[in-house]
Amino acid sequence: MTITIPLPRVALVTGAGRRLGRAIAIELARAGWDIAVHYRNSHDEAREVAQAIAALGRRAVTLPCDLSDEEAVRGLLPAARKALERVDCVVNNASLFDYDSDLNFSHARLDAHMHANVAAPIQLARALYDATPDGGQAVVVNLLDQKLYNLNPDFLSYTLSKAALLAANTMLAQSLAPKVRVVGVAPGITMVSGDQSEEGFAKAHTQTPLGRSSTPEDIAAAVVYAAGARALTGTTLLVDGGQHLMPSPRDVMFLAK
Number of domains in the chain: 1
Decide if 1 is inside a domain: no
- Helices and strands, counts by H and E, the chain: 9, 7
Which has the closest alpha carbon to 40: 20, 24, 62, 9? 62
Decide if 75 is inside a domain: yes
Decide if 207 is inside a domain: yes
Which has the closest alpha carbon to 27: 52, 62, 63? 52
Full residue range of the structural domain in which residue 162 is found: 10-255
Helices (H), 56-106: 70-84
Interval 68-92: pLDDT, tens: 999 999 999 999 999 999 999 999 9
Interval 28-62: pLDDT, tens: 999 999 999 999 999 999 999 999 999 999 999 99
Q: Which of 39, 99, 149, 158 is catalytic?
A: 158
249 burial via Cβ count (<10 Å: 0-12, 13-18, 19+): exposed
The stretch 126-135 carries a mean pLDDT of: 97
Decide if 5 is inside a domain: no
Decide if 200 is inside a domain: yes
Interval 25-34: pLDDT, tens: 999 999 999 9
State yes or no: pLDDT of 3 exceeds 60: no
Decide if 108 is inside a domain: yes
Predicted TM-score of the model (pTM): 0.93
What is the rounded distance in angstroms from the CA atom of residue 180 to the CA atom of residue 89?
9
Decide if 2 is inside a domain: no
Q: Is 225 a catalytic residue?
A: no
Prior bond of 178 cis (ω within 30°)? yes
CATH code (residue 204)? 3.40.50.720
Decide if 166 is inside a domain: yes
* Centroid of chain to Cα 59: 20
State yes or no: pLDDT of 124 exceeds 80: yes
State yes or no: pLDDT of 198 exceeds 60: yes
